[in-house]
Structure formats: C-alpha cells, structure tokens
C-alpha cells in the first residue's frame, strides 16, 4: 500500500529481476522473487509484467511465472486487453516499477518486501543467498566513495 493505504499497480521486470539474466532462456529464480510477488498479490496489489520479451519468449516467461503461482493483471500493457493507440503513450501506467535497471540497481527481494510489505518483513527468515554482501558497494557508494 502507498502511504494513504491504497493498493498499488506495480510493473515488474522479468530478466534480472524475477530470474537471472539468461535471455532468451529463462535463468535461475532470484531468491525471494515469487514469495514476495505472491505476498504482494495477496495484499491486493496489481502486478504487471513489463519486459522486453515478446512472442514465444514472452509466452515462456508468462508460463514460467504461472507455474510459480503468479498470474499478472496485465502483460506489457497498462490493463488487460489494452488496444494500441499511436496517440497514447506506451509508458505503462504503474505506481512503481521493480526492475534491475533502477538507479542504484536492483535492491533485492528482501528490500522490496521491507518497503512494500513491512508488516511481513520481520517474519520472513533470510536464506544465505538473500543476505547482502556488506562489503559490496552500491551505485551511489561507488560514485561517492562511501
């Protein structure tokens, strides 16, 4: 929910966010991805798959997510069955985007949970793969030497 308690529409990237980059193949699942996505849906948020994939590669990604319990509200569009209109922006109408190409990089699914599902973040146990490397600097740390 946002600060006012409203449910969010969240655009989620596939490669590098839900799974590791292996395009056009499907990479290994990034730890926590499907658990957090299912929890977001269970809390009433709308998820849009927003990816560069198309054709059979897009179908494979959608099917892969379906096999892991995620049915997207829409795929590469703002709402289901959106009709293309060249006079309307192709930018997805979402409240926020979860993407590995964010400024500063992908924060990880634990951080996404902490931000968007704070009431559940204390009850989830981290696996070794989900614990960030404290010595690894993020984008801004590299830029400013922090």
Q: Domains in the chain and their CATH numbers?
A: 9-144 (3.40.50.1000)
Query: Over the stretch 75-104, which tens digit does the pLDDT of each residue have?
Result: 998 878 777 666 666 788 899 999 999 888
Q: Average pLDDT in the 41-70 region?
A: 96
Predicted pLDDT of residue 80: 84
Query: What distances in angstroms separate CA 80 from CA 20, 72, 87, one per listed residue?
Result: 27, 9, 19
**141 has pLDDT over 90:** no
Higher confidence at residue 62 or residue 1? 62
What b-and-e string marks burial along 13-39, b requiring 16 or more CB atoms within 10 Å of the CB?
A: bbbbbbbeeebeebeeebbbbbbbbeb
Nearest partner of 40 among 75, 11, 76, judged by Cα: 11
Residues 8-19 have a mean pLDDT of 96
Structure tokens at 137: 């600097």
CA 37 – CA 32 distance, rounded (Å): 8
pLDDT of 21 over the 70 cut: yes
DSSP 8-class letter at 130: G
Which one has a higher pLDDT value, 4 or 42?
42
Using alpha carbons, select from 99, 65, 60, 92 the residue that is nearest to residue 76.
92
**What share of the chain has pLDDT > 70, as a percent?**
75
């Amino acid at each position: 929910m946002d600060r006012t308690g409203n449910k969010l529409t969240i655009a989620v990237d596939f490669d590098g966010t839900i799974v590791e980059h292996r395009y056009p193949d499907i990479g290994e699942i990034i730890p926590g991805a499907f658990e957090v996505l299912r929890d977001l849906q269970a809390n009433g948020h709308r998820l849009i798959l927003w990816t560069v994939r198309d054709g059979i590669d897009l179908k494979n990604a959608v099917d892969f997510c379906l096999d892991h319990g995620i049915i997207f509200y829409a795929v590469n569009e703002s709402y289901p069955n959106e009709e293309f209109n060249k006079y309307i922006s192709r930018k997805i109408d979402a409240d926020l985007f979860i993407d590995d190409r964010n400024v500063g990089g992908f924060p990880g699914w634990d951080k996404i949970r902490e931000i968007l599902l704070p009431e559940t973040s204390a009850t989830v146990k981290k696996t070794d793969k989900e614990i960030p490397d404290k010595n690894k600097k993020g984008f801004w740390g590299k830029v400013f030497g922090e």
